[in-house]
Amino acid sequence: MATQVSEIELSSTSNMLPAAETFVTRVRALFEGGGDEPKIWSTACEYLRDLLEDEDLKKHSETWPDSLSVEGKPGNLLFYEDADYGFVLNALVKAPGLKTSVHDHGRSWTLYGVLEGGETVTRFDRIDDGLQVPEMADIREAGSHEVIPGYIDFVPPWEIHQEHNTDQRTIGFIVRSQRSGTFVQNRFNPDTGTVDQYDGPVQMPYKLAW
Ligand SMILES: [Fe+2]
């Protein structure tokens, strides 16, 4: 019976690049096998490493449009949403020089793989012990690192960060535990301590196939 369900689900992914389909199949197997989210997402991170090396995916990304901003909101390409487990495949294409807000990804888990370009990721620690979705928050910069193609930033729930692009186009291929818009994210102002909430990047369906 379980096999039949898998076959039905797979047919819905038949329009994706083979390496992306393989990735989805492997992640679905993690959910089917049980296990907690930290374990599922750290293993999925290893699978994503393989997908990021796929030449066909790199080639396909040359066709992806810039998607950082849609009517003032950040935008993501949306390639796939799993009907059973809710995880999604996205991409974020950043034009040269752009930087994101200081933000978290709310309760979701994120694997942010760099496919092209390079940028600086800065992390922040929350100093106060207020609510997870606050009006004010005391945060401190906790360090920065440069990321290059092949690197995967592992972002657990509520982790605060910011990305600064360099002088080239940077593409992030992103796996999220649920689609943006289905959970609340915080956006922090480190200078004033104010926090506002938003529902994440605009989702723009895009076909991951030739
Ligand atoms: Fe982020």
Report pTM.
0.91
CA 1 – ligand 1 centroid, Å: 38
Please say if the pLDDT value at position 2 is more than 50.
Answer: no
Min mean pLDDT across 8-22, 38-52, 112-126 is at: 8-22
Instruction: Report pLDDT for 87.
Output: 97
CA 93 – ligand 1 centroid, Å: 13
Each residue of 83-97: pLDDT tens digit?
999 999 999 998 888
User: 11 or 149: which carries more pLDDT confidence?
Assistant: 149
Q: Which fold has domain 2-205?
A: Jelly Rolls (2.60.120)
Encode the chain in three state secondary structure: CHHHHHHHHHHCCCCCCHHHHHHHHHHHHHHHCCCCHHHHHHHHHHHHHHHHCCHHHHHHHCCCCCCCEECCEEEEEEEEECCCCCCEEEEEEECCCCECCEECCCCCCEEEEEEECCEEEEEEEECCCCCCCCCECCEEEEEEEEECCCCEEEECCCCEEEEEECCCCEEEEEEECCCCCCCCEEEECCCCCEEEEECCCEEEECCCCC
Instruction: Report pLDDT for 96.
Output: 87
CA 156 – ligand 1 centroid, Å: 11
Of these ranges, 2-6, 61-65, 158-162, 203-207, the one predicted with the greatest mean pLDDT is 158-162
